[in-house]
Structure 1
Amino acid sequence: MLDYDNTSDQGRQHRSIMSSPTPSTSASPTARKLLTKLSPLLSSSSTCQSSSTFSESQQTIASWMIFNRKKKDSLAEGMVIAVREAAASKSDDAADRLLVLLKIVHRVLVSNCPAGGGDADVSMWEKSAPLRHTMAEKVLPALLNDLAATAKEEGPCVGQVEDMIKSWKEQNVCDDSFDWDNVTQKWEHGLRNKGGPSQNNDTDAAVTESTLADKSAKDQDDDGISANDENQVNVTSNNTSKETSSSSPVAQTDTIAAEVDTPTTEDKADEASSPDVLARKFSRQDSTMSVASVGDIDYEGVEEAKVEPIRFLEASKIISQLQITRDIGGDTAMNISSILGHITPDVEETCRTIIQQKEQQTGDDKDSTNPLQQHAETLGKLPDDFLDLDLKYARQSLQTYKEVIRQQKRARLQCLHLLLQSRCSFGSMEAARILFGREQKTGDADDNAEDQQETSIPNINVILDKLKKRKEALSDAMALEGLDVEEDAEEEKKLEKEEKEMLPLNWFTEQLENETKGGESGSVKLDDCLEDEPAAKKLKNE
């Protein structure tokens, strides 16, 4: 990997930067997080930072971006906003800030590249391919054009950028379909047209930002992290978080999770309806399914049954109660992975050699020279953060984090299974029939009229009419006792407005049977008496 952190103009006077990237309220959450992480790096000139610390900070952000590669559109959105703000500043350090952003993008593009040599992770390289393509397509053209327009011709920036572009092509950081000539042309065009960022580029960046903002909305609910992802994070931290302990809510929700996953007589279904089958059957795109497409859901393999709301609540409580624990565990996993990532390959090889030597030692050999003393010089390269690491606690934290993810996944699959089982019907039609239908009897046919009246479910208008009469009776009784029950004109108008007869809900359009005591039957169409938003009936306590 190329290192360009030591080539800044040493003779330039240090000046304070006007402002750092400010997270926009209209940006996606991931974009705002990226802008917050970029703010310390862009708040002062690169010459004001020590080489090792500044390079490490850039690598930290690049590793964080690779870890969150599934939210590539939001990350590109954040980088575009940072580029626009850095280019719009009129200070002499605008080129420095743009160069810092380019170095971060460069680290994202070449990280784990097999062609770059070193300890490359081929699996992570393949997984981060969509992120690299998005960065090269959405961020590089605007970034290079603005950097070329603000950089000094005699400065080292030009040579650094050309070396970066050359390394991108040699290492083939994007697939063959990517047009690198367009990137080169943007850079050369900016060099030829000095004087600041072009207006066309600002327009393109604005369009790109709005497009990415729309796409990034789909990333907000994507919080699934695979086990492989947990081992690939390389974010720098000085101390591991010890806020997660064995007394976390994981143990408290084990009973709830077991109850949710235990099938009952109400949701007996064949093997095709198990959560494991649902996990393979539904992709991430189903999580963004709109209400308009609910009718297109494939219910095959899941028997229809009535689902009580309490079962949805139990599964949802597991997800919400464990979310804080998951966030803390995620930070801990990232910190531990960052610490382990700073161990050099030669130290790892030495440790393996020492383990093999200890296994091969016999009883007499144990009195000989300690293998640790033989490799003391190499082991001295171990980072201080690693030596201070509590391995037992770190292992326990990762196991807790893994268990939280597993329980949340099971709860989400359980919610999905209940949705399919209930056919997305939660009793609203039955409630509407009771609320706006005719008076219904729940007693047996052989019961007398008095018993039927006690078990009847009256229409809501009947209930309101009874309440109105009861209120009038109470007002008359209070007036006879000499109490003042008169209301002012404004209050009377307000009550009259609230007491108008309620109309059926706009979505309740089915025909209701008109059952009367005299045996008269028929149907009443409600289409002509619907209102878009029925007025909410507010009963005032007197």
Structure 2
Amino acid sequence: TAHTMASWSGKFENRLNALADGASKESVQTLAKWIGFNRKHRKDFAQILFKSMSSPPSAARQWLYWQLVHEVLIQEKNSPKWDRLEELRVSLGEIVVVPLFDKEQEAAMVTKLKPLLEEWDEVNVFGGPTLINEIKRKLSSQSKAQKESKPTEDNENAAKQGEPTTVENKPAKSADEKKESTKEAKAAEDPKQAPQVQTQRPKLMRRQSTIEEINFDFESQGIPAGKVEAREFLEPCRAIATLQIARDLRSDATVRLPSILAAIPEDVKKMCDELRKQHEETGEAPEIPEDVVTKLSVELGADVLELNIDEMLDNLSTLREIAHKMRTARKRLAHLLIRSRCQFGSKEAADTYYSLEEKSKLLQKRKELLSDAMDLEGLDFEEEDPSQGNSAASQEKPLEEFSWYKREERDAKRAKIH
């Protein structure tokens, strides 16, 4: 029904508006999965998304919407569920993506969209080449138009100088021919001004580490030292990672709520207080005159009128519960770290490694003694030919010492830890 469609449209619009401009990737993926789950309303979702992307408040918001479109299009790309979402992807392509490229995009946005388009083409998101080729053509034409719309002053002057004085017996040159002749003339006059093609990629600068060594007094925490298995850390870490996605989604909506409530006029708040007091005194819900309802509908914005109080209260309650669970998981993780004294078995593994090396040397000496004894007894034994180069001795390579562990300092370090 029309009411149901409007309801789903309102739900999607609320979720879309609840996303902050700097929303995390997990929050965007969560909304993309919600769209995929409710894909039977795909046309309503696509129309709302196109409306929002046609006039975004900022470039950051526009890029957020493109990220959402991208996550929906590549959703379940390596899963058996991929074919189920084909109609949703085609609807987004026809209603959102292609019409948006009819409008001129900023140069910076075009640069960001090119990698997304390559991935769409690679996984064949639209089930055929028709839509993707149309998008490529529109994107290419926009890139070309943006480059041609910004000629340099030197190119313009050179173009003017290169134009013939008489054109009665010659056809007029096209814009592309003029541009090419301008470049050639300029390069001939000054070779230094000729365009240079960058053949090397810029070097990536390694960021300096900001890790600082901190002395922590484990004994002051009152937690006795003990062995902690690696699997004990798994449960709190898994809880934190799982709850973080749900927290980000609800946090965006919660942060937006105060700004919505702040938009309510003071006279409306005063009227609400009077009606609430009247309800508390009489115990019955007061009737609101129709003219007052009309006035409120005019003064209040759409965000306030469409606000679902019960849903927001449930959202706040859930957010509080998630924060409590994450706090408990972090406390448990900190307790395990202090209990283990941040010793995860690397020292024991190094001890085992070096002890095996010592035993290997001892066995080699025993082998040499046995060989000498057998020679004295006149016994023959088969020995590998070292000239073949496949013996264990010839293949063995000396291993470097661990930079973080010194055998001679083992006892001193253990005394310091305990």
TM exceeding 0.5 = no
Which structure's CA Rg is the greater one?
A: 2
> Which of the two has greater helix per residue?
2
